[in-house]
Amino acid sequence: MDENFIRNRISELRLQKNISEYKMSLDLGHSKGYIQGISSGRALPSMYEFLYICEYFGITPKEFFDVEDSESLKLHQLYISAKDLKNDDLDMLIYLANHLKSK
Protein backbone atom coordinates (compact mmCIF):
# COMPACT_ATOMS: atom_id res chain seq x y z
CA MET A 1 0.00 0.00 0.00
CA ASP A 2 1.36 3.42 -0.90
CA GLU A 3 0.47 7.08 -1.32
CA ASN A 4 -1.31 6.32 -4.58
CA PHE A 5 -3.70 4.02 -2.73
CA ILE A 6 -4.81 6.88 -0.48
CA ARG A 7 -5.27 9.25 -3.41
CA ASN A 8 -7.14 6.67 -5.47
CA ARG A 9 -9.33 5.60 -2.55
CA ILE A 10 -10.38 9.18 -1.82
CA SER A 11 -11.23 9.62 -5.50
CA GLU A 12 -13.14 6.34 -5.57
CA LEU A 13 -15.21 7.22 -2.51
CA ARG A 14 -15.83 10.73 -3.80
CA LEU A 15 -17.05 9.45 -7.16
CA GLN A 16 -19.29 6.85 -5.49
CA LYS A 17 -21.04 9.72 -3.72
CA ASN A 18 -21.05 11.82 -6.91
CA ILE A 19 -19.22 14.70 -5.23
CA SER A 20 -16.88 16.98 -7.15
CA GLU A 21 -13.37 17.72 -5.94
CA TYR A 22 -14.39 21.37 -5.66
CA LYS A 23 -17.45 20.66 -3.46
CA MET A 24 -15.60 18.22 -1.23
CA SER A 25 -12.78 20.71 -0.73
CA LEU A 26 -15.21 23.40 0.35
CA ASP A 27 -17.24 20.96 2.50
CA LEU A 28 -14.03 20.10 4.35
CA GLY A 29 -13.32 23.80 4.91
CA HIS A 30 -10.42 24.13 2.49
CA SER A 31 -9.69 26.06 -0.67
CA LYS A 32 -11.38 24.85 -3.83
CA GLY A 33 -8.26 23.00 -5.02
CA TYR A 34 -7.52 21.02 -1.84
CA ILE A 35 -8.86 17.64 -3.00
CA GLN A 36 -7.55 18.20 -6.51
CA GLY A 37 -4.08 18.63 -4.97
CA ILE A 38 -4.44 15.28 -3.23
CA SER A 39 -5.80 13.55 -6.34
CA SER A 40 -3.02 14.89 -8.54
CA GLY A 41 -0.25 13.79 -6.19
CA ARG A 42 0.87 17.23 -5.05
CA ALA A 43 -0.20 16.63 -1.44
CA LEU A 44 -1.48 14.11 1.06
CA PRO A 45 -3.90 14.82 3.90
CA SER A 46 -2.56 15.10 7.44
CA MET A 47 -3.69 12.45 9.91
CA TYR A 48 -6.25 14.89 11.30
CA GLU A 49 -7.57 15.61 7.80
CA PHE A 50 -7.58 11.91 6.93
CA LEU A 51 -9.82 11.18 9.93
CA TYR A 52 -12.05 14.09 8.92
CA ILE A 53 -12.25 12.72 5.36
CA CYS A 54 -13.31 9.33 6.75
CA GLU A 55 -15.99 11.07 8.82
CA TYR A 56 -17.08 13.00 5.72
CA PHE A 57 -17.63 9.72 3.87
CA GLY A 58 -19.28 8.11 6.91
CA ILE A 59 -16.69 5.36 7.19
CA THR A 60 -14.06 4.26 9.69
CA PRO A 61 -10.34 4.29 8.87
CA LYS A 62 -10.50 0.48 8.79
CA GLU A 63 -13.22 0.65 6.15
CA PHE A 64 -11.15 3.17 4.18
CA PHE A 65 -8.28 0.69 3.90
CA ASP A 66 -10.33 -2.52 3.71
CA VAL A 67 -11.42 -2.36 0.08
CA GLU A 68 -11.95 -6.12 -0.04
CA ASP A 69 -14.75 -5.90 2.53
CA SER A 70 -17.31 -3.81 0.63
CA GLU A 71 -20.15 -5.70 2.35
CA SER A 72 -18.98 -4.39 5.72
CA LEU A 73 -18.93 -0.85 4.33
CA LYS A 74 -22.51 -1.20 3.07
CA LEU A 75 -23.66 -2.57 6.43
CA HIS A 76 -22.01 0.35 8.20
CA GLN A 77 -23.72 2.81 5.85
CA LEU A 78 -27.06 1.09 6.52
CA TYR A 79 -26.44 1.33 10.26
CA ILE A 80 -25.63 5.06 10.00
CA SER A 81 -28.81 5.62 8.00
CA ALA A 82 -30.99 3.54 10.33
CA LYS A 83 -29.71 4.53 13.76
CA ASP A 84 -31.91 7.61 14.07
CA LEU A 85 -35.10 6.03 12.75
CA LYS A 86 -38.16 5.70 14.94
CA ASN A 87 -39.14 2.23 16.16
CA ASP A 88 -41.98 1.86 13.63
CA ASP A 89 -39.60 2.68 10.79
CA LEU A 90 -37.00 0.26 12.16
CA ASP A 91 -39.65 -2.46 12.28
CA MET A 92 -40.45 -1.78 8.62
CA LEU A 93 -36.76 -1.91 7.71
CA ILE A 94 -36.35 -5.23 9.55
CA TYR A 95 -39.44 -6.60 7.80
CA LEU A 96 -38.07 -5.50 4.41
CA ALA A 97 -34.65 -7.04 5.13
CA ASN A 98 -36.23 -10.34 6.17
CA HIS A 99 -38.46 -10.31 3.11
CA LEU A 100 -35.51 -9.70 0.78
CA LYS A 101 -33.44 -12.37 2.54
CA SER A 102 -36.16 -14.98 1.99
CA LYS A 103 -36.13 -14.52 -1.80
Domain with 46, as residue range(s), is 1-65
Q: Is the per-residue pLDDT at 25 higher than 80?
A: yes
Instruction: Say how far apart CA 51 and CA 56 lie, in whole Å.
Output: 9
Q: Is the per-residue pLDDT at 56 higher than 80?
A: yes
The number of distinct structural domains making up the chain is: 2
Q: Is the same domain home to 39 and 74? A: no
Q: Is the per-residue pLDDT at 76 higher than 90?
A: no
Q: What is the CATH number of the domain that holds 5?
A: 1.10.260.40
Q: Is the same domain home to 95 and 51? A: no
State how far the alpha carbon of 70 is from the alpha carbons of 14, 23, 66, 87, in Å. Answer: 15, 25, 8, 27
Q: Is the same domain home to 6 and 55? A: yes
Q: Is the same domain home to 58 and 25? A: yes
Q: Is the same domain home to 5 and 23? A: yes
pTM exceeds 0.85 for this model: no
